[in-house]
Structure 1
Amino acid sequence: MGGTVLLTFEVIAEALRERIRSGGLRPGDALPTQAVLMAEFGASSLSVQKAMTLLKRDGYAISHPGKGAFVAQSDVDTAEDPGSPDAENVPVVGTTARVEALELALAEALDQFTALRARVEALEAGGT
């Protein structure tokens, strides 16, 4: 990467992306657990969580609450002609995972906004 030093969570995310690209992890496969990744990379739980957030944001992974994280399904099959000039420009995984990640981020932002609005209203009610 041209002399750029990657942070631990970036190293973990890139290693998992490479496993997905190489076929070591296929769509629908469970991703390694947090404990497994912590042991494998000698990383903190926060680093593993940040790596998983990157994978979800980029559409490589999806979460199933109570079940874990899984490799996202691909919308396209580049295996038919991996040598084609367009193969590099085709997303590795589908838009469904990206939409899901954006929906989760939006829901979190809405929750934060709602909490902030309630605090402001409480302050205004107490100040008048």
Structure 2
Amino acid sequence: MPLTFEVIAETLREQIRSGGLRLGDALPTQSALMREFGASSLTVQKAMALLKQDGWALSRPGKGAFVARHDQADADELDSPSRETVPAGGTAARVGALEHALAGAVEQLADLRARIEALEAGGTERGR
């Protein structure tokens, strides 16, 4: 029996295959998927990570996740072990996932920098 995150990912893949979701369409939000499947946020995040890893989806920081591949032929190309190059959709999804991770890291660094500056400013004022 598949795990919930696998069911979510397969349901979204089937919606993409059937044309219910088209290339470039926004995927349902995390909260919508949580309600639909009665799943936790971590479960939905795992499903989205699986879709991104397999090239079905990509993230656009601040905008959400979007369909990166639209048909089974693309999936067959990505899954084929004899294929030496990764299809553009798979590469775009991986780049998108990396960009998303980088954007998150940049935000964390900016937050940490602001905290350090606030602490240093507070420390110099106290020392006066």
TM-score by length of 2: 0.57
2:103 to 92, 97, 107: 107
- Aligned residue for 1:99, secondary structure, equals helix
* Residue of structure 2 equivalent to 1:33: 28
Give 2:68's aligned amino acid.
Answer: A
The 3 A distance-change label for structure 1 pair 58 and 110 is farther
Q: CA RMSD in A?
A: 4.3
Q: Using the alignment, how far apart are the partners of 1:12 and 1:80 within structure 2?
A: 20
Query: 1:48 and 2:44 equivalent?
Result: yes
Q: Using the alignment, how far apart are the partners of 1:36 and 1:60 within structure 2?
A: 19
Q: Is the 8 A contact 1:63 1:69 kept in 2?
A: yes
2:14 to 5, 16, 19: 19
Per the TM alignment, residue 9 of structure 1 is displaced from its structure 2 partner at its CA by: 2.6
Query: 1:86 and 2:73 equivalent?
Result: no
CA offsets 1:65-87 (integer angstroms, 9 cap, x no match): 8986432148xx66999xx7615
TM-score by length of 1: 0.57
Q: Structure 2: 5+ residue runs without aligned partners? A: none
Q: Structure 1: 5+ residue runs without aligned partners? A: none
- Aligned residue for 1:94, secondary structure, equals helix
CA offsets 1:34-66 (integer angstroms, 9 cap, x no match): 476446533245532442244235432034689
Q: Using the alignment, how far apart are the partners of 2:117 and 2:63 within structure 1?
A: 38
Greater helix percent: which structure?
2
Identity of aligned residues (%): 58
Give 1:28's aligned amino acid.
Answer: L
